[in-house]
Amino acid sequence: MSIIDKLLGKNKRLKNPVPIPVKTDIHSHLVPGIDDGSQSLEESVKLIRELQKLGFRKIITTPHIMGDHYRNNIQNIRDGLEKVKDELAKQGIEIPLETASEYYIDDHFMELLKKDEILSFGDRYVLVETNAINYTEIIRTAFWQMGLSGYKVVLAHPERYAYLWNDFDRFHEYKDMGIFLQINLVSLSGFYSQKVREIAERLIDENLVDFIGSDTHEIRYIEGIHESLHSPYMHKLKELKLLNDTL
Ligand SMILES: [Fe+2]
């Protein structure tokens, strides 16, 4: 048990917020009107200002690409990003803003992978998510195929997948396969559920976290992150070798 555990215990709330230990956010939904994130330029600018206040100095925003719901593509994502950048420039807000995508693993993603129409970030990292309930064979196939195509898999919010909650060994298996794990900061406040919070904490305890992300969709995520900054686990995050600032 670490000193932090002994002094504070799990689920305790620190009196003072802990600064976020990285400067680059790699997960958010800030291209307006193309997914379930920001719905207007005004909202995007507001959220970006809030991310700056939290301490982020670079943002890689990641609109959903999902066969069934959000059939975005490289072009409309880049066009949307340009509009946000123009607005930021107009308002004198300086922050590097790049785009990638959060790919839902489905048949559509497998086709994009085959055609190599993939938005990656940094050194060929690709952010992916899976369905929340069931482990399906396509997940394994996608990870395998991404590796063959020279991409590095970053699994978004692993703490949120119910099919992994009673299968913790699989997180270690993923790490052994070279998969990178990105937890959501907001998970540490209990924003989704107590269970999701506990899994995020265990991932930190077992040194399995490579990236953190805000996953900002709307203002309540920012509010949730402010609450997360009071988690003792923020101190533990600082001790991990997070890769956000290598980007
Ligand atoms: Fe997301």
**Is the Cβ–Cβ distance between 37 and 217 less than 8 Å?**
yes
Over residues 78-105, mean pLDDT: 98
pLDDT digits (tens, 9 = 90+) for 191-229: 999 999 999 999 999 999 999 999 999 999 999 999 999
Report CA(229)–ligand 1 centroid distance (Å). Answer: 20
Confidence of residue 57 (pLDDT cuts 50, 70, 90): very high
Over residues 78-97, mean pLDDT: 98
Report CA(177)–ligand 1 centroid distance (Å). Answer: 23
What pLDDT is recorded for position 10? 59
Tell which phi-psi region holds residue 208, choosing left (phi > 0), alpha (psi between -120 and 50) or beta.
alpha
Report CA(131)–ligand 1 centroid distance (Å). Answer: 12
* CA atoms of 139 and 144, how far apart (whole Å): 9
What pLDDT is recorded for position 3? 54
Report CA(230)–ligand 1 centroid distance (Å). Answer: 22
CATH superfamily of 3-246: Metal-dependent hydrolases (3.20.20.140)
With a threshold of 0.85, does the pTM exceed it?
yes
Percentage of residues of the chain with pLDDT beyond 90: 94
Report CA(215)–ligand 1 centroid distance (Å). Answer: 5
* CA atoms of 28 and 217, how far apart (whole Å): 6
Of 111, 197, 209, the residue nearest 156 (C-alpha): 209
Q: What is the mean pLDDT of the chain?
A: 95
- For ligand 1, a single-atom ion, the residues with CB < 5 A are 102, 215
What pLDDT is recorded for position 12? 83
Report domain extents, the chain: 3-246
Q: Is the pLDDT of residue 185 over 80?
A: yes
Report CA(6)–ligand 1 centroid distance (Å). Answer: 34
pLDDT digits (tens, 9 = 90+) for 101-150: 999 999 999 999 999 999 999 999 999 999 999 999 999 999 999 999 99
* CA atoms of 11 and 198, how far apart (whole Å): 9
* CA atoms of 152 and 186, how far apart (whole Å): 24
